[in-house]
Chains A and B, each alone.
Chain A
Amino acid sequence: MPNDVPSKSRINEVGWLSKSAAKAGLWIRRSGIGGQLLSLVIVTGSFAIGTSGRYLSAANLQVILRLASIPAIIATGLHQVVVLGGIDLSVEGVVALCVVFVGFLARNRFNTNDVGLWIVPITVGFGGLAGIINGLLNTKLRIPSFIITLGMSWVLWGFAVFVSKGQTIPLLKNPLSGIVNGNLLGIPDLALIAFGLIIVIQIIQDRTRFGRYLYAIGGDEVLAAQAGVKVEKIKIAVFGIAGLFYGLSALFLAIQLESAQAITGNNLLFPAVTAVAVGGVALTGGIGGAKNAALGALIVTALNDGLILLNVNPYAQEAVNGFVLVTAVALTIDRRKLGFIK
């Protein structure tokens, strides 16, 4: 790695512009998202050429940002579990139950309940609770997170269907509707919220003890435990945070579609895990941060949007999607950090 840094004398030679370029290059290299940025540039660049620029129009960028926001929020919650070396498959179940709660408690056509803005802490809190249960089962019963979260997802999903009796609950105008569907200076509010959350998590990961412990556990759990890290507490907290994020996205999803049904949660898990993996978070743990997860969500959304804008035959879309994913990752993955690829 040190060989890549231009020597100081050379920087002086070529002046200020290349100096800052070199600095930027160094920053990108160190940040661990260089490959992902490159993928994003490749994807957007090729679509921009393919659609003769329409892909980069303000309207489309707005759509991409809006559609990427909720997957990005979910991926930001999920990726910390992956950094620990686990996996969280409970997204669909948690979202399903939270959405059904939103349906019953927010203003709707079926009953007179209206908890107003309290809906935010209620859904988010419930998501967090589900996450903490995941974490407790994982650490106290010592069961792999894959099974715990898969089982929890089925349990919660079944419960959501039972509670809602399969009905769709149409929502009425909500105090949050303006935020969820609005724009600020042309940027969707949802994207700003997602961005804020990602920044917070990234700062926690970079600057706090919690963040350092996270990577210590992801790198080598036994070593971390021997060094005195309270592994179980960190794990429970990470699952809890993931749950909070799922609860929040459930709320946004319901308000965005102005309806609450248990199946809103379906088809959220796979895109989120894909986003995390594409963003460069190693599924073996210890590598990648919130910025990776968010970029991954952005790449996946930009890809899907581009395929529609190019009017690629829907039968072949999944093939193109798969091919581009593998190619993008092949070109950009940072193999030095991963050691043996599994």
Chain B
Amino acid sequence: MISRIKFTATKGVKLGKRIHLLSGIALTGLFYAFFTLAIARSASAAEPKTTLAISIRTLSSPYQVMYKVGAEAFAKKVDLPLDVLTTEANSQKGLTDIKAEVARTGGNVAFFIDPNDASDALPIAKALEAAGVYFVTWWSKPSEVKAWDYPHWVAHISFDGLAAGTYTATELLRTFKTPGQGKIIALQGRLGDTPNAERWEGLHQVLAKNPEVKLLQWESAQWDRTQAYNDTKAMLVAHPDIDGVWTANDDMAMGAIQALKDAGLAGKVLVTGCDGIPEMFDAIKGGLAAATILNDGKYQAQLGLAMALAAKEGKLDVKSLPHKNRQFEIPAVNVNRDNVNQVVHDYLDTTPTYDLSNFFAQWSTAIP
């Protein structure tokens, strides 16, 4: 039917329209000329001092803010300027901002990057490789993409998401009335996120080993506290007799706890999370949550920046590093009721002194 749409040119093109058309062509030509001229211009003189830059997801989440805090401390220590970029859930913004930072510093920059999506790692790597900028990525990258194919991609590091899922699930099962036997519900984060998929896989490994624990239902609460509250409330109607709630991060865990409070189940049915936000530690102390893991954002940022900077200054020979040191995981801190006070003292009340002379001090497993 669309074929009957008339594409015939409208009759009697007026003078005004012709001018519009001509000016359009002229503008296009100007743009083309400008663009080719601009290519002829070589890159401008570099800034005298190397800039440190971190590209993170947002400044509105306590965990992501830890990156900034850690990076600021590191920048102060080495006396270099620091820039913070945020992706705000927009992959294209993330990539553009990184390129803008390269332009801003004339390429004299070292990057720590937490890609917005796993698939962003590749275009970021290609862009920074082309610009000759050293960088370290965290958390997410497609498994087919290898850091060692890119001389400027110093390393890809991650916390062991699988281990996190396994640990929290195991701890949750221990809290049941009859340990290792019961029913749970679960909340995933944003479907499609790598850490979410890994933690989820960890939960399933534990469930496979414990056939008497049944996962009755799961929902995706998008990492969001309010939605976790809503989803848990609805699921509790369907399954009022659960023994535990597994969630993929602490914010969702807090939402689930609030829903359990309304149902009068808080403290009887325990919750687990991941990330290690201060409220979660209070919940563990108060007997509302079973366990979480602490991903030390301050160390993450410092390690990433230190490695990228060392590579830039020639102190770290990236090419000579074995593959196992280009892609690896470091362990998170497991937190349950037994050690929560100690962890709060060590990581929140005081900032631990990190050993940044050996980048692989915490190396646990290689990422194939």
Contact = CB atoms under 8 A, between A and B. Distances in A.
Q: Do chains A and B touch in the complex (CB under 8 A)?
A: yes
Given A266-B224, A267-B222, A314-B219, A304 B65 contact: no
B356 to A, nearest CB: 25
A67 B65 contact: no
Nearest to A265: B226
A170 B59 CA distance: 18
Interface of B is mostly: helix
A319 to B, nearest CB: 13
Contacts of B258: 256-258
Contacts, number: 90
Contacts of B254: 257, 259
A67 B235 CA distance: 13
Nearest to B283: A170
A256 B279 contact: no
Interface in B265-282: 277-279, 282
24 contacts: A54-B238, A57-B237, A60-B237, A66-B233, A67-B230, A161-B58, A161-B59, A166-B58, A166-B60, A168-B278, A256-B258, A257-B226, A257-B229, A257-B255, A261-B62, A261-B225, A263-B224, A264-B226, A266-B224, A267-B227, A305-B237, A308-B217, A308-B235, A314-B219
Given A308-B235, A308-B238, A253 B226 contact: yes
Contacts of B191: 314-315
B64 interface: yes
Interface of B: 58-62, 64-65, 188, 191, 217-220, 222, 224-227, 229-231, 233-238, 240, 254-255, 258, 261-262, 277-279, 282
Interface residues of A, number: 34
Contact of B237 (A63, A164, A167): A63
B224 A267 contact: yes
Contacts of A30: none
Please classify the interface of chain A as helix (H, G, I), strand (E, B), loop, or mixed, using the class held by over half of its residues.
helix
Interface in A283-315: 304-305, 308-309, 311, 314-315
Contacts of B230: 67, 304
Given A63-B237, A311-B217, A267 B226 contact: yes
A234 B191 CA distance: 44
Interface of A: 51, 54, 57, 59-60, 63, 66-67, 161, 164-168, 170, 181, 253, 256-259, 261-264, 266-267, 304-305, 308-309, 311, 314-315
Nearest to B234: A308
Given A257-B258, A305-B234, A311-B217, A170 B282 contact: yes
B219 A168 contact: no
Nearest to B235: A308
A63 B225 contact: no
A66 B229 CA distance: 11
Contacts of A161: 58-60
Contacts of B240: 59
A314 B218 contact: yes
B239 to A, nearest CB: 10
B234 A259 contact: no
A259 B279 contact: yes
B234 A67 contact: yes
A161 B236 CA distance: 33
